[in-house]
A and B are shown apart, each in its own frame.
Chain A
Amino acid sequence: MFHPKKASSMNSPMCDSGLVLTTDPKPRLRWTVELHERFVDAVTQLGGPDKATPKTIMRVMGVKGLTLYHLKSHLQKFRLGKQPHKDFNDHSIKDASSLELQRNNASSSGMMGRSMNEMQMEVNRRLHEQLEVQRHLQLRIEAHGKYMQTILEKACQTVLAGDNKAAAAGPTLNFPTLQDLNMYGSSDHLHHQGMEMESLKRSTPYTGKSPLIWADDLRLQELGTASCLDDQIGPLSVDRGSDIDSVSDIYETKPMLSSGGHDHKKYDVKMDRPSPTPPRTVAISAGGMRSSPFG
Chain B
Amino acid sequence: MAMVMDLGFPSFESFDYTTTTTTTTTTTTTTSSTDEGCNWSDWSPVVDWNEISGDQDFQNLIDSMIDENVVIHQSIRPIDDDDQIHEAEYNNSSPEYNMAMQDEAGSAEDSKGLRLIHLLMATAEAMAGRDECRGLARVILVRLKELVSPTYGTNMERLAAYFGDALQASLDAGAGGRLAPGAAEHHRADVLAAFQLLQDMSPYVKFGHFTANQAILEAVANDRRVHIVDYDIMEGIQWASLMQALVSRKDGPPAPHLRITAVSRSGTGRRSFGTVQETGRRLTAFAASIGQPFSFHQCRLDADETFRPTSLKLVRGEALVFNCMLHLPHFSHRAPDSIASFLSGAGTLNPRLITLVEEEMAPPSEGGFVGRFMDLLHHFSTVYDSLEAGFPMQSRARALVERVFLGPRIMESVGRIYRGRETEEGCSWGQWLGAVGFRPVSISFANHCQAKLLLGLYNDGYRVEELTTNKLVLGWKSRRLLSASIWTSQDCDL
Report A's interface with B, CB cutoff 8 A.
Answer: 126, 129-130, 132-134, 136-137, 139-144, 146-148, 150-152, 154-155, 158-159, 170-175, 177-178, 180-183, 200, 203-204, 206-209, 211, 213-214, 217, 251-253, 262-266
Contacts and interface: CB of A to CB of B under 8 A. Distances in A.
B394 A251 contact: yes
A144 B245 CA distance: 11
Given A137-B210, A175-B189, A263 B282 contact: no
Given A206-B200, A208-B457, A143 B244 contact: yes
Nearest to A170: B185
A170 B245 CA distance: 41
B277 to A, nearest CB: 13
Contacts of B273: 151
With most chain B CB atoms within 10 A of its CB, the pick from A151, A158, A204, A211 is: A151
For chain B, give the interface size range.
35 or more
Contact of B453 (A133, A146, A148, A154): A133
Interface string B445-475: 1100110011011111000000000000000
A178 B243 CA distance: 31
Contacts of B390: 208, 266
Contacts, number: 144
B285 A150 contact: yes
A263 B392 contact: yes
Contacts of B62: none
With most chain B CB atoms within 10 A of its CB, the pick from A152, A172, A180, A208 is: A208
Contact of B196 (A129, A132, A148, A253): A148
A211 B456 contact: no
Nearest to B5: A262
B282 A151 contact: yes
24 contacts: A129-B446, A133-B446, A133-B450, A137-B454, A139-B244, A143-B241, A144-B206, A144-B237, A151-B192, A155-B189, A155-B192, A158-B188, A173-B189, A177-B193, A181-B400, A183-B396, A203-B200, A207-B203, A207-B206, A208-B203, A208-B458, A214-B456, A251-B394, A252-B393
A182 B396 contact: yes
B109 interface: no
A217 B282 contact: no
B248 interface: yes
A192 to B, nearest CB: 14
Contact of A141 (B206, B286, B389, B449): B206
| A-B interface, 4 closest residue pairs, ranked by CB to CB distance from nearest | A147-B240, A143-B244, A140-B241, A174-B187
Contacts of B400: 177, 181
B318 interface: no
A178 to B, nearest CB: 6
A126 B452 CA distance: 14
Interface in B373-415: 389-394, 396-397, 400
